[in-house]
């Protein structure tokens, strides 16, 4: 069962963990990143860096793993995007298993993938896809977001769609959503007016590629009227799609019915 953690250090990252590292301005990113990558040799992991070449090289000057540099690919005129990253991680995770490594250890620099920043929708889609891949393959994945490279709403959503986070000032998201199996996602925390837009964005990205999405809500403490409207509106906007809420508490069930959402026109099922 995957849980959520706020990590004080990357030393605690283990196989199957997907971590959002919120990097502060002036933080010694290089040293922390290189230490995380160097641990790959200690634990028997294959190492992959998505980012700049400087991150790949430890201070002693020995090559540290594979490198995918989106900036270099763009300069060479090669088409690059998030699908290429997903394919590369999947390919290297499978290769690491065949080659006898414990796991694939990945450091992905978000500002290298999106040098001009990215929308919340783009980040949600990419990180939710990555989380499903991490859960499936047992990869160690750390996604580094420099605070000055993305707006606040996008950073908050980025943290919320990772099970784990690290950073001195990393926000504690109101809710988290992470993979619990094929087309199944665990939702925890509180979804209220402040998080309703982010929740709709995340669910919309899941529904865009799956006809039915199951949300396990046993650890969801609250879903207020704004969040319910966001969910209902999201499903209505995507004909032929369905959301199944599993394990919601009695208060959510009663409010859902009182607000008039318990109708066939809104394909959201509240399962036991």
- For the stretch 211-255, pLDDT in tens is 999 999 999 999 999 999 999 999 999 999 999 999 999 999 999
Can you say how many angstroms the Cα of residue 140 is from the centroid of all Cα atoms in its chain? 12
Please give the CATH number for the structural domain made up of 5-171. Answer: 3.40.50.300
Q: Which residues contact 247 (CB under 8 A, 6 or more apart)?
A: 216, 217, 218, 220, 271, 272
d(CA 67, CA 47): 9
| CATH 3.30.750.24 domain span(s) along the chain | 177-271
Alpha carbon dihedral 67, 2, 103, 150, in 10-degree steps, equals: 10
Residue 77 pLDDT greater than 90, yes or no? no
CATH for 177-271 (3.30.750.24, 3.40.50.300, 3.10.150.10, 3.40.640.10): 3.30.750.24
Tens-digit pLDDT profile for residues 159-186: 999 999 998 877 678 899 999 999 999 9
| CATH 3.40.50.300 domain span(s) along the chain | 5-171
Average pLDDT over residues 203-216: 95
| Structural element, H or E, at residue 253 | helix 250-258
């Amino acid at each position: 069962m995957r849980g959520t953690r706020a990590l004080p250090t990357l030393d605690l990252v283990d196989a199957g963990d997907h971590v959002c590292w919120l990097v502060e301005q002036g933080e010694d990113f290089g040293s922390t990143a290189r230490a995380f990558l160097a641990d790959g040799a200690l634990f028997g992991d294959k190492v992959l860096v998505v980012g700049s070449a400087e991150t790949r090289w430890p201070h002693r000057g020995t090559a540290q793993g594979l490198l995918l540099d989106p900036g270099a690919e763009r300069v060479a005129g090669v088409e690059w995007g998030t699908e290429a990253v997903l394919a590369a991680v999947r390919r290297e995770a499978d290769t690491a298993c065949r080659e006898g490594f414990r796991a694939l250890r990945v450091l992905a620099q978000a500002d290298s993938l999106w040098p001009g920043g990215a929308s919340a929708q783009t980040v949600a889609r990419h990180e939710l896809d990555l989380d499903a891949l991490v859960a499936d393959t047992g990869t160690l994945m750390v996604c580094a977001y420099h605070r000055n490279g993305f707006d606040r709403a996008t950073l908050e959503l980025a943290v919320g769609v990772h099970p784990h986070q690290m950073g001195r000032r990393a926000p504690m998201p109101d809710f988290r959503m992470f993979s619990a199996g094929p087309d199944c996602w665990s939702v925890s925390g509180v979804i209220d007016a402040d998080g309703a837009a982010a929740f709709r964005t995340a669910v919309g990205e899941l529904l865009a590629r799956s006809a039915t999405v199951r949300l396990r809500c046993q650890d969801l403490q609250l879903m207020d009227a704004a969040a319910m409207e966001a969910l209902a509106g999201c499903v209505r906007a995507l004909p032929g799609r369905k959301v199944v809420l599993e394990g919601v508490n009695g208060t959510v069930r009663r409010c859902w019915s009182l607000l008039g959402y318990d109708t066939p026109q809104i394909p959201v099922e509240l399962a036991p």
